[in-house]
């Protein structure tokens, strides 16, 4: 028997959309969320949270074993990794936060329909195959939020054993002896960093000319330098020739070929980890039946309030163009919820979105790079300051990296900030707020930064925009 359920707002996909579901409930709407797997989606179960749990141990291990003696900790070199204890901690963290999301949805009286959903109209979903049974659910409005899955390359399709994606890497119970990572974007360099700290031989293969190709080129250069120092081999402008892959007793043997010319390197590793980006999960959910819905390369096209153009139908997160990041998805979900509830939230702006990559050294950026500003025909002035010159960085024992600020040449308005170094992700909050309130580099410098803190790197970089940095 098929049940029916009606809501003011129905959400298809219970990943980061849960934040918007709660916001809508706070604003007085009845809300239903359809989820076929665990609540919290990729971020909580297969992405941000478990990967950062591993990275935290990687950092701790590095600090204790490689820096412990210098910090006065005797016997620290002998400390090793217990991967099964780490996996237990990783899973406990995920579990705790999935239960937290379940609790918050319940507290806000959001109904969760457990099962797979297919659109039966712009604001209705047929749910089946889960513990909620068969349900015809509908809403006055609907938010599509079905997320994304790893992409692969022809000939490098994951087999779950020797050729894997981040999904399988996260489930593994041990560290490979050696790994070749294809793709040096955020996910690729995070795995390179953590596997290296765990003692694996790591090779990074990137098709474009530099690693972290979406970041400022100075950041790519600094990461390359530090990765080289850490023993991570990097092949840029290169790819694995899938025709050459063969299984060996130890894993896989293959050829890394240069993108141009005839450079070839014979290589072997236990695993290939494919980290070439994500594809929106928009097939098989009934989109083709919705008249007037615009999609491009699988992405649902929306305006800056997440409206699809089909009345009452919204979309958020990894299925829409823009940065595929958890906080972007949850912010978009809140904007959609508030719009649906009749409020007039500020539009979503990608140029205000912070981006963090949790390799070591960490990378964080917001707004325009110098090159992007130039492409837009803007005249800029740039200031940069190295962590090496900062007392706190010396105390922390992490002196690689810098902060770089890009400001409008005429007004001094902060256009972008790019940080590579210790706690870069946390440091990014200040330039992100500065971008929102349209602060100038001079105003960032004018705001007094406590001493000794890593935040001083921002004040000095802001001073450097006008050639006035003190400690260089
Ligand atoms: C390894 C890795 C590390 C990452 N690290 C970070 C990070 O540090 N910081 C960051 O900001 N972002 C990170 N991300 C990206 C982040 O996880 C995503 O941007 C975010 O999860 C997108 O949220 P979403 O709600 O759009 O999609 P998802 O989180 O993927 O949620 C979609 C949900 O919809 C469900 N669903 C799909 N189809 C159906 C259906 N037909 N019926 C019912 N349910 C359905 C899925 O089961 C899923 O739960 C990482 C991603 C990966 C893979």
325 lines ligand 1 (CB under 6 A): yes
Work out the average pLDDT over 343-366: 98
pLDDT at 252: 97
Work out the average pLDDT over 1-25: 97
Query: 35, 48, 137, 366: which to mutate for ligand 1, most atoms within 8 A of CB?
Result: 48
pLDDT higher than 90, residue 381 = yes
pLDDT higher than 90, residue 404 = yes
pLDDT band at 472 (very low <50, low <70, confident <90, very high): confident
pLDDT in tens, 220-268: 999 999 999 999 999 999 999 999 999 999 999 999 999 998 899 999 9
pLDDT at 349: 97
The tokens 């700290």 sit on which residue?
Answer: 197
47 lines ligand 1 (CB under 6 A): yes
User: Which residues are designated catalytic?
Assistant: 451
Q: Is 472 helix (H, G, I), strand (E, B) or coil?
A: coil
pLDDT higher than 90, residue 180 = yes
**Nearest protein Cα to ligand 1, atom 1:** 47
pLDDT at 80: 94
CB atoms within 10 A of CB 78: 9
14 lines ligand 1 (CB under 6 A): yes
For residue 148, how far is its CA from the centre of ligand 1 (angstroms)? 6
Work out the average pLDDT over 161-177: 95
Per the structure block, which two tokens stand in for 442? Answer: 């001079």
pLDDT at 270: 98
Rounded distance between C-alpha atoms, residue 15 and residue 278, angstroms: 15
pLDDT band at 1 (very low <50, low <70, confident <90, very high): confident
- Closest ligand 1 atom number to CA of residue 358: 8
Residues forming a β-bridge with 240: 256
For residue 165, how far is its CA from the centre of ligand 1 (angstroms)? 15
pLDDT in tens, 87-130: 999 999 999 999 999 999 999 999 999 999 999 999 999 999 99
**Nearest protein Cα to ligand 1, atom 7:** 48
In which element (H, E) is residue 205 found?
Answer: strand 201-205
362 lines ligand 1 (CB under 6 A): no
Work out the average pLDDT over 150-174: 94
148 lines ligand 1 (CB under 6 A): yes
Integer CA distances (angstroms), 446 to 67, 80, 433, 436, 468, in order: 35, 46, 15, 17, 12
pLDDT in tens, 284-343: 999 998 999 999 999 999 999 999 999 999 999 999 999 999 999 999 999 999 999 999
- Closest ligand 1 atom number to CA of residue 52: 8
The tokens 């539009």 sit on which residue?
Answer: 347
42 lines ligand 1 (CB under 6 A): yes
């Amino acid at each position: 028997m098929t049940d029916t359920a009606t809501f003011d707002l129905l959400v298809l996909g219970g990943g980061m959309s849960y934040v918007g579901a709660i916001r809508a409930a706070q604003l007085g709407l009845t809300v239903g969320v359809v989820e076929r797997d665990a609540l919290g989606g990729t971020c909580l179960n297969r992405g941000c949270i478990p990967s950062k749990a591993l990275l935290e141990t990687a950092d701790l291990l590095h600090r204790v074993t490689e820096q412990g003696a210098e910090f006065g900790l005797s016997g620290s070199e002998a400390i090793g990794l217990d991967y099964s204890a780490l996996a237990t901690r990783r899973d406990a963290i995920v579990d705790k936060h999935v239960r937290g999301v379940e609790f918050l949805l319940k507290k806000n009286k959001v109904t969760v329909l457990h099962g797979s959903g297919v659109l039966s109209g712009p604001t209705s979903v047929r749910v089946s195959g889960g513990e909620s049974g068969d349900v015809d659910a509908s809403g006055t409005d609907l938010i599509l939020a079905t997320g994304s899955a790893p992409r692969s390359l022809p000939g490098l399709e994951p087999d779950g054993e020797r050729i894997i994606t981040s999904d399988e890497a996260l489930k593994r119970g041990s560290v490979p002896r050696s790994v070749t990572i294809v793709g040096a974007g955020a996910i690729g360099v995070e795995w390179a960093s953590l596997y290296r700290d765990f003692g694996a031989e790591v090779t990074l293969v990137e098709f474009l000319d530099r690693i972290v190709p979406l970041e400022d080129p100075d950041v790519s250069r600094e990461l390359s330098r530090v990765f080289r120092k850490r023993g991570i081999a990097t092949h840029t402008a290169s790819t694995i020739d899938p025709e050459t892959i063969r299984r060996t007793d130890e894993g896989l043997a293959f050829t890394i070929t240069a993108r141009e010319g005839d450079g070839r390197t014979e290589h072997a590793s236990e695993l290939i980890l494919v980290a070439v980006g994500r594809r929106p999960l928009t097939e098989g959910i009934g989109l083709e039946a919705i008249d007037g819905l615009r999609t491009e390369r699988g992405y649902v096209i929306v305006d800056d309030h997440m409206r699809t153009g089909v009345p009452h139908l919204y979309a958020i997160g990894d299925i829409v163009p823009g940065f595929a990041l958890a906080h972007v998805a949850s912010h978009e979900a809140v904007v959609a919820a508030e719009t649906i509830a009749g409020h007039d939230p500020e539009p979503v702006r990608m140029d205000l979105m912070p981006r963090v990559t949790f390799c070591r050294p960490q990378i964080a950026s917001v707004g325009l790079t110098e090159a992007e500003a130039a492409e837009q025909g803007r005249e800029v002035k740039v200031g940069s300051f190295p962590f090496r010159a900062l007392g706190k960085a010396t105390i922390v024992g992490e002196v690689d990296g810098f902060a770089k600020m890009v400001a409008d040449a005429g007004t001094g308005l902060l256009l972008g900030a790019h940080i590579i170094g210790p706690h870069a992700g946390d440091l990014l909050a200040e330039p992100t707020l500065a971008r929102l309130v349209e602060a100038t580099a001079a105003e960032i410098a004018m705001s007094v930064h406590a001493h000794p803190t890593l935040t001083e790197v921002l004040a000095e970089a802001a001073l450097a925009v006008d050639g006035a940095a003190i400690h260089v």
